[in-house]
Amino acid sequence: MDSTGLEAELQNLEDAGLRRRLRRVESAPGPEVTVEGRRMLMCASNNYLGLAQDPRLIEAAHRAMIRYGAGSTGSRLISGDTELHEALEKRIARWKGTEAALVFATGYMANVALATTLAGEEDVIFSDEWNHASIIDGCRLSRARVSVYRHADPGDLESKIIAAGPARRRLIYTDGVFSMDGDVAPLPRLLEVAGKYDAFVVVDDAHAGGVLGKRGRGTMEYYGLSPAPRIIQMGTLSKAAGVEGAYVAGAKAVIDYLINRARPFIFSTAPSPAAVGAALVAVEIMEQEQWRRDHLRALVSRLRTGLRERGWRVPEGSTPIIPVIIGEVGETLRLAARLDDAGIFAPAIRPPTVPPESCRIRLTVTAAHRMEDVDRILAVFTTEG
C-alpha cells in the first residue's frame, strides 16, 4: 500500500497525459544522438552554437582538470579561489561590457541568488508573467512583494509600479529571450519605465547569450543598448556556450554584494575546473565566430517559414526556439509520437512547463544542423499538416 498517496498522484498525472519519464541518451550531444539504441535527429537541445562537442572546449576542460583537479571541493569563500574562476569572470565582464561578473554553478542558482539578495520585505519585484521558473521561485523566496505584469507589456508594468506605491528598492525582472515561446523582451521600453521609477532591471539572458547581437552579447547588444549601473545581466554557460554554469554581470558593487550576501554563492561548491576551463574558450568562440550565428539564423528562417507555409501555428520570432502550438495535451502527445517514429527527438511540452491549452512541440535548431536536417523536420510536418 502506498501510504503517502504518491502512487495515486502519479496515476492522476498518467491519466491526464502529464506524467514524464527520462529518456536515456547514449552519445555525446550533437545534431544527431543515440537515444535508447536509436539514432535520432536532436531537435530539443539548447546547444545553439553547436559547441558542446567542440574539440577546443574538450581540450580546455582536460587541461583545467590536469592542473586544478576534478572538482572545486568547496565554496570559493571557504576553500579558496582559483585563477581560472577569476579569469572566466573577467572574460565574461569584458564580453558583456560590465564592470564585473560572478560565476555560479547553475542558472537556477544565479536567479535565486539575485532575487533573494537584492530584494527583501521592504522591496517590490515586478516580474513578467512568462518568466522562467527559477525567477518565479527566486521571487517567492525573496519575501519581497511580487507584482506580475502582463507578458512583454511595459504599459502594464508601469501601472503595476504606480499601484505598488513606495518601496525601498524596485526590481524589474525579465527573460531576455523567453524559453518556451522564443520571443525577445521589449527591453528598451522596459528600461524607459525603470528610469522613471528608479528601478533596477535584471535581464535573464540564458537563451540570448551567444545567439543575439553581432558578437553574441545578448539582448542588450540586440537592441544596441549600453550597460548601465542599474542593469544586471544574468546568463548561462549551458546553452550557446555548450558547457554548464551561469554568471551575473553588472556593476562592481552589485557583484561584491552578491559575494557577501548571496546564499546560493556562499553555501555552494564552485563550478568545476573542467567546466570553467571549457567556458573560457567558449566565450571566446561565441564572440569571435560570427559564422555560427549566420548559419543558425538561416536555419531558423527556413524552418519557421516552412512550418507556417504548411499551416502550423508558430508565433512570430527569429530565435532558435520555435514553438509549434497545438493546444490540447492528447493531440500534442500524438504529434510528438509521430516525430519520434520519424527519428526526430522533440518531446511534447505540457503543463506545468506551459499553461493549460498551450501545449506544444518546442523545436530548436543549432549551428551544427544542416539545411537537409531542416527539410527532414518539415517533411514530417508536411505529412501531418
Which positions are annotated as active-site residues? 179, 207, 239
CB contact set of 306 (below 8 Å; sequence gap of 6+): 374, 378, 381
Instruction: Tell me the DSSP string of 328-341.
Output: SHHHHHHHHHHHHH
Contacts (Cβ under 8 Å, ≥6 apart) of 288: 215
Tell me the β-bridge partners of 77: none
* Torsion over CA: 183, 188, 189, 194 (sign): positive
- Residue type for position 21: R
Q: Please report which helix (H) or strand (E) contains residue 366, including its range.
A: none
Q: Which residue has the cell 576534478?
A: 70
346 CB-side CA count, 13 A: 28
DSSP of 201-245, one letter per residue?
EEEE-TTTTTTSSTTS--HHHHTTPPP-TTEEEEEESSSTTSS--
* C-alpha dihedral, 346 to 51 to 286 to 82, nearest 10°: 120
d(CA 187, CA 296): 23
Phi then psi dihedrals of residue 197, to 5 deg:
-120, 20
Alpha helix (H) residue ranges in the chain: 6-15, 55-68, 76-79, 83-96, 107-118, 133-142, 154-164, 187-196, 219-222, 252-261, 263-266, 273-288, 290-309, 329-341, 371-384
**What is the C-alpha to C-alpha distance for residues 75 and 85, in angstroms, rounded to an integer?**
12
Q: DSSP per residue over 242-287, as a string?
A: SS--EEEEE-HHHHHHHHHH-HHHHTSPPPPHHHHHHHHHHHHHHH
